[in-house]
């Protein structure tokens, strides 16, 4: 028996998925969730084989929810917004269903999932999250998981970001959070007038910058308000002066 979790803030949308799944006796509905917070908890608890996931939801959206998972089940996206029906979905998602969708289209999505069952979706989902156009809220905040707690960190609270193997460390004044993202991702997503990549391993919040000093030949260091010293490459030095207008 395959387990499924349905995550959608619209009761009618969930009920349609439930109705269509009745024709698939090999699939058991483990949970229905009306937001991403509930979705994360249900996935951790039930470890489903497949999730039906809405994209635009209150609190956190579907993409942000996926970023919080330690391991990602197969995903069929359900959305009313066709701007998200892009090549990244075609390449990396099992399928996506544009609302309102028919039972025939739903059954086709289930068939696609059955055909791909047993293949890892982890890399595909990570690629999707890296390459899909971000929603406005995602550019102004980072959603992180701290133990069992989910927190929304405003970008204004981020002092700097540091590369850490396959993760990044996101530092605030009080603590840091691990996020399974790349430095290139944040360099592209963050507002370049507010955040600057000083080095291949560091991105700083320009509001936290206090001074720049030479370190060795052709290398520099920047100081943040909390006294933290961050390396600044030679290329970064030239670009930073241009950004600051000095």
Report how far apart, in Å, the C-alpha atoms of 235 and of each of 25, 74, 155, 215, 231 are: 60, 41, 25, 14, 12
125 and 202 both lie in a single domain: no
Q: Are 5 and 51 in contact (CB under 8 A)?
A: yes
* CATH classification of the domain holding 200: 2.40.50.1020
pLDDT digits 0-9 by tens, 92-101: 678 889 899 9
pLDDT tens digit string along 62-93? 989 998 988 888 999 998 876 655 655 665 67
Return the pLDDT at 136. Answer: 66
Q: Which helix (H) or strand (E) segment is 223 a member of?
A: strand 219-224
Rounded to a whole number of angstroms, the distance between the first and last alpha carbons of the chain is 64
Say what the pLDDT of residue 171 is: 97
pLDDT for 170 equals 96
Tokens of 156: 């204004």
Q: Which two tokens mark 218?
A: 């052709």
Angle (CA) 67 72 73, round 5°: 140
Which are the contacts of 216, defined by CB distance < 8 A and separation ≥ 6? none
- How far is residue 32's CA from residue 9's CA, in Å, rounded to a whole number? 10
Q: Which residues partner with 154 through β-bridges?
A: 141
Q: Return all residues near 21 (Cβ < 8 A) that are at least 6 apart.
A: 4, 27, 29
Last residue of a domain, one of 103, 131, 159: 131
Residues 190 and 231 in one domain: yes
Q: Looking at 77, 106, 131, which one is the last position of a domain?
A: 131
44 and 158 co-located in one domain:
no
On whether the CB atoms of residues 162 and 171 are closer than 8 A, the answer is yes
Starting at the edge strand found earlier in the chain, the sheet holding 50-54 runs: 27-33, 2-7, 50-54, 74-79, 95-98
Rounded CA-CA distance 103/111 in Å is 12
Residue corresponding to tokens 């930073």? 240
Half-sphere exposure of 15 (CA within 13 A, CB side): 3
Which ranges of the chain does DSSP label H, i.e. alpha helix?
Answer: 11-21, 36-46, 62-67, 87-92, 103-116, 122-131, 136-140, 183-189, 234-244
Same domain, 207 and 102: no
**Residue 44 φ then ψ, to 5°:** -65, -40
Count the domains in the chain.
2
- We report the CATH number of the domain holding residue 11 as 3.40.50.2300
Q: Per-residue confidence of the chain (246 residues) as pLDDT tens digits?
A: 999 999 999 999 999 999 999 999 999 999 999 999 999 999 999 999 999 999 889 889 898 999 898 888 899 999 887 665 565 566 567 888 989 999 999 999 999 999 887 666 667 777 777 766 666 677 789 999 887 789 999 999 999 999 998 899 999 998 999 998 889 989 988 888 999 999 999 999 999 999 999 987 778 999 999 999 999 998 888 899 888 887
Q: Which domain holds residue 80?
A: 2-131
Residues 74 and 142 reside in one and the same domain = no
């Amino acid at each position: 028996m395959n387990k499924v979790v349905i995550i959608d803030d619209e009761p009618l949308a969930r009920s349609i998925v439930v109705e269509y799944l009745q024709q698939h006796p090999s699939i058991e509905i483990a949970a229905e969730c009306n937001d991403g917070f509930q979705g994360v908890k249900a996935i951790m608890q039930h470890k489903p084989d497949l999730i039906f996931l809405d994209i635009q939801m209150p609190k956190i959206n579907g993409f942000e929810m996926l970023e919080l998972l330690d391991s990602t089940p197969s995903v069929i996206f359900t959305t009313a917004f066709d701007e998200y029906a892009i090549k990244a979905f075609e390449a990396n998602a099992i399928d996506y269903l544009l609302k309102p969708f028919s039972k025939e289209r739903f059954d086709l999505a289930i068939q696609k999932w059955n055909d791909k069952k047993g293949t890892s979706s982890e890399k595909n989902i990570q690629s999707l999250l890296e390459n899909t156009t971000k929603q406005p809220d995602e550019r102004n905040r980072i959603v992180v998981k701290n133990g069992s707690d989910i927190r929304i960190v405003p970008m204004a609270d981020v002092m700097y970001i540091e590369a850490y193997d396959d993760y990044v460390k996101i530092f605030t004044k009080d603590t840091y959070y691990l996020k399974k993202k790349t430095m290139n991702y944040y360099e592209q997503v963050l507002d370049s007038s507010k955040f600057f990549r000083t080095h291949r391993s560091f991105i700083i919040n320009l509001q936290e910058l206090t001074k720049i000093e030479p370190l060795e030949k052709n290398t520099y260091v920047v100081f943040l308000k909390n006294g933290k010293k961050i390396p600044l490459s030679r290329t970064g030095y030239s670009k930073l002066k241009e950004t600051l207008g000095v």
